[in-house]
Amino acid sequence: MSQTFQGRESRVDSQVGLPISWYFDPEILEIERQHLFAVGPKYSGHTSLVPNDGDYFTLGGQQVGKLLVRHNGRPQLVSNTCRHRQAEMMCGSGHAKKIVCPMHNWAYDLDGRQVAAPHFDENPCLDLEKSELTEWNGLLYAGPRVIHHEAAPLASWTELDTSNYVLERVDEEEHDLNWKNFLEVYLEDYHIGAVHPGFRVFVDAADVRNAFQAVGGDRFFCEQMNVRWPIPPAATPKFAEYQKVLLDVLAGHRPPFAAIWICLFPGQLVEYYPFTMVTTTYTPISPTSTRLRSEYYFDREIAETRRDYVEAGLAVLDEVTSEDHWAAVKLQAGRQTLWNRGENLQGPYQMPMEQGLRRFHDCLRSIVQNA
């Protein structure tokens, strides 16, 4: 070792990241499933998916196999698996008076109660499992943990209301990555300067170094960033088009914010941009495989009158998401190498740019230690 490093004292936080084994150990994943994912709150969709009584929408992600239905004015979850021979019953979305199995015409009302079993002398009364839902700013959650309690510090954030938003697009993918790699990228701002050329120019640099407003709880973290104003020339063609259309929609006024990011540690990210909201759920399949489901929503009036904004917004979201995915792949590759060698490296946190990451890690440490 050179003399330059021999006399160097550490000036970093003594707290470091998670052990490398936690990204590959099946026992750790099982603890995460039982004590984090299973206890919710579980995202189940948006109110706009079932606006009227009788509307249904088949779900994916963590709620695959469930139907979102509106019955007697309330949205709820109902199993989409027939109680007779376990066939899948409904597909896509639509409007129905009953849930009917295509195999043998067993039928259930929208509350899950069995109402017909052809050629049976008596109704077997095998009802579908159902769950009540709680609405939070237009988003719907199932328990057992209550979303209003989990996110209570955000009760005054009116920017989070998406009750008048509509679904534009759904993406479902599987990636050979540990689920934590995705959330870790989204929970820290340290990488923005190196990984996101377009977004780096769009946002206020001071907010990147120290988020304009950050709020955290035991199992969530939220931060807001402002637009750099006046907006400078864009760094990528997609951001150039987006910035032009955004300013036109706002008649030249400053956008209320550049981004608001909420991470619910059971495995959900909720992203807010002007007139736009994206929900992404991460479902671990194995220690090194994850299923993602992303739903893209836009303000209803914007979606109906400014398709140029929708297209430009989706384009920049795809650009930034691709960059974040690249970063997650880099994390997985480096950790895989260490795991294969039997080595463990745990670096320090850069505060405040990695404050959300540290809160996430602290949550996981507590759960694993108490399991």
Give mean pLDDT, residues 257-284: 96
Residue 371: the pLDDT is 87
Average pLDDT, whole number, for the chain? 93
In the chain, the domains with their CATH numbers are: 20-41+146-370 (3.90.380.10), 44-134 (2.102.10.10)
What average pLDDT score do residues 82-99 get?
97
Report d(CA 246, CA 240) in Å as an integer: 10
The answer on pLDDT for 6 being more than 70 is no
Res 73 pLDDT > 70: yes
Bigger pLDDT: 195 vs 218: 195
pLDDT at residue 107 tops 80: yes
- pLDDT at residue 365, as a whole number: 97
- pLDDT exceeds 70 at position 137: yes
Q: Is the pLDDT of residue 168 over 80?
A: yes
Quote the crossing angle between the two packed helices 179-186 and 307-341, to the nearest 10°. Answer: 120
3-state secondary structure of 200: helix
Res 95: pLDDT:
97
Given pLDDT bands bounded at 50, 70 and 90, which one contains residue 62?
confident
Mean pLDDT of 236-250: 98
Q: What is the pLDDT of residue 12?
A: 44
Return the exposure string of 61-83: e unless at least 16 CB atoms fall within 10 Å of the residue's CB, then b. Answer: bbbeebbbbbbeeebbbbbbbbb
Residue 60: what pLDDT?
Answer: 87
The whole-angstrom separation of Cα 46 and Cα 117 is: 32
**Does the pLDDT at position 34 exceed 90?**
yes
At residue 14 the predicted structure's pLDDT band, cuts being 50, 70 and 90, is low
Rounded to an integer, the average pLDDT of 246-255 is 98
- Position 8 pLDDT exceeds 80: no
Reading the block at residue 191, the tokens are 């990488």
The pLDDT of 159-183, averaged and rounded, is 97
Measure the CA–CA gap between 366 and 371, rounded to whole angstroms. Answer: 9
Question: Which positions ≥6 away from 271 have C-beta within 8 Å?
Answer: 259, 260, 261, 262, 277, 278, 279, 280
pLDDT at 243: 98
Cβ atoms of 110 and 69 closer than 8 Å: yes
Q: Which of 261, 293, 310 is nearest to 170 (CA)?
A: 293
Mean per-residue pLDDT, 333-360: 96
Q: Is the pLDDT of residue 1 over 60?
A: no
For position 7, what pLDDT does the model report? 37
Q: Quote the pLDDT of residue 208.
A: 85
**pLDDT the model gives residue 4:** 34
Confidence category of residue 219, pLDDT binned at 50, 70, 90: very high
Whether 222 shows a pLDDT value over 50: the answer reads: yes
Q: What is the DSSP string of 153-192?
A: GGTT-GGG--TTEEEEEEEEEEESS-HHHHHHHHT-STTH
Quick one: pLDDT band at residue 211, thresholds 50, 70, 90? low
pLDDT surpasses 80 at 175? yes
